[in-house]
Amino acid sequence: MITPIGPHTNLEMNREVLYMTAKEESEENVIYVGNKPPMSYVLAVVTQFNSGSTEVIIKARGRAISRAVDAAEITRNRFASDAKVKEIRIGTEAITNEEGRTSNVSSIEIVLAK
Amino acid sequence: MITPIGPHTNLEMNREVLYMTAKEESEENVIYVGNKPPMSYVLAVVTQFNSGSTEVIIKARGRAISRAVDAAEITRNRFASDAKVKEIRIGTEAITNEEGRTSNVSSIEIVLAK
């Protein structure tokens, strides 16, 4: 679902961010790794598998990338030994901050499948 | 080459570390990512490619994992656009500290190939 944006939004940056958020929220089997402890994301992945998903994608950017790998490894070693690493993709995303400056940040997507 | 260890070394841990170091140093096309700025490792990777290697493996553990992804991405985007991510492996390694305690740490290996 695409969130409509009012005419008061004149920054291209904001529009992109809103579109991306709307799109990503519709993907139920995607877990976004941030600054919480790794076990929070392990729990999210396991819950997703238990609800019937055969594939869960763990995504992270910047420093959270190491935590995403932790979450994938803890899931496989302790909670879902039948889950395999199907694919790992890395990439670079351009992020625009509030001052309009653009910087690059690395990203990772770890696809776990049963 | 295996470094011989004198009889004064009675800790199994130390022996393993020494063996590992000796083995790893023999793998010329492996870049170990630590706590230096990402560009240090980018330079190492580019140098390795320029010396004739068709494959370079970037390895990291723990928090350095994000930096390994940064190094791979910066190399591909700015210095070696013909280099492709051939394979990415993640794993868990058991580390024994000086007090004899064992803890797990995540690891990554990014294989870049021309």
ipTM of the complex: 0.75
Whether residue A102 has pLDDT greater than 50: yes
Give CA–CA dist B73/A104, Å, rounded. 10
Rounded average pLDDT over B19-35: 69
A9-23, A88-102, B26-40: segment of lowest average pLDDT? A9-23
* A positions 20-79 inside 8 Å of B (CB): 62-66, 69-70, 72-73, 77
Q: What integer is the mean pLDDT of A64-77?
A: 97
pLDDT at B20: 47
* Inter-CA distances, B63 with A31, A41, A47, B66, Å: 20, 17, 26, 6
pTM over cut 0.90: no
CA–CA separation, A110 and B16 (whole Å): 31
Alpha carbon of B69: minimum distance to chain A alpha carbons (Å): 7
Residue B91 lies in a domain: yes
Q: Is the dihedral of CA B55, B40, B104, A49 positive or negative?
A: negative
In a domain, residue A20? The reply is no
Show residues of chain B in contact with A77, CB under 8 Å. Answer: 92, 104
By the CB < 8 Å criterion, does B110 face chain A? Answer: yes
Query: What is the predicted pLDDT for the residue at B22?
Result: 44
**Could you report how far apart the first and last alpha carbons of chain B are, in Å?**
28
Quote the radius of gyration of chain B (alpha carbons, Å): 16
Asked if residue B7 belongs to a domain, the reply is no
Residue B96 within any structural domain of the chain: yes
Backbone angles phi, psi at A68, to 5 degrees: -65, -40
- Domain assignment present for residue A1? The answer is no
H/E stretch holding B105 reads: strand B102-113
Number of domains in chain B: 1
Determine the structural domain holding residue B44 and report its residue range.
28-113
CA-based Rg of chain A, rounded to a whole angstrom?
A: 16
CA angle B74, B87, B40 (to 5 degrees): 30
Residue A86 lies in a domain: yes
Closest-CA residue to B77 (of A71, A92, A35, A57) = A92
Asked if pLDDT for residue B23 goes beyond 60, the answer is no
> Is residue A102 in some structural domain?
yes
CA distance B77 to B12: 43
Query: Is position A47 within any domain?
Result: yes
CATH number of the domain bearing residue B94: 3.30.110.20
